[in-house]
């Protein structure tokens, strides 16, 4: 018995740049910056872990190796999400 594969992977999400300030991602032709100040979990992550991201349902970015999930609405309307990581 072989596994059945439905559809194909069309993630449309990838990492563009990792700098000393944060991570730039491109999702469906829109670029978003994730500063380490707001996303400290990426500071100690390996490059491979950061580059391993997936897009689910067209609006949910997931890093499976880091167990991090971010809804695209956060990037588009950060004022709607006042809670921040405090360490």
Q: Domains in the chain: how many in total? A: 1
Contact 13, 59 (CB under 8 A): no
Write the CATH number for 73: 3.30.2020.40
Assess if residue 60 is contained within a domain. yes
Show the beta-strand stretches assigned E in the chain.
13-18, 22-27, 30-35, 54-56, 60-63, 68-71
Assess if residue 52 is contained within a domain. yes
Supply the pTM of this predicted model.
0.79
Q: Which structural domain, as residue segments, surrounds residue 47?
A: 13-80
For residue 33, pLDDT beyond 80 = yes
Q: What is the pLDDT of residues 62-81, one digit of tens each?
A: 999 999 999 999 988 988 98
Assess if residue 26 is contained within a domain. yes
The backbone region for 85, taken as left when phi is positive above 0, alpha when psi lies in -120 to 50, beta otherwise, is beta
pLDDT of residue 9: 45
Token pair for 5: 């594969």
């Amino acid at each position: 018995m072989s596994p059945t594969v439905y559809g194909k992977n069309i993630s449309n999400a990838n990492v563009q740049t990792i700098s000393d300030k944060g991570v730039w991602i491109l999702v469906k032709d829109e670029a978003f910056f994730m500063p380490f100040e707001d996303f400290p979990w990426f500071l100690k992550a390996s490059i491979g872990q950061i580059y391993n991201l997936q897009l689910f349902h067209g609006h949910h970015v997931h890093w499976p190796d880091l167990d991090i999930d971010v809804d695209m609405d956060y990037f588009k309307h950060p004022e709607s999400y006042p809670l921040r990581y405090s360490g």
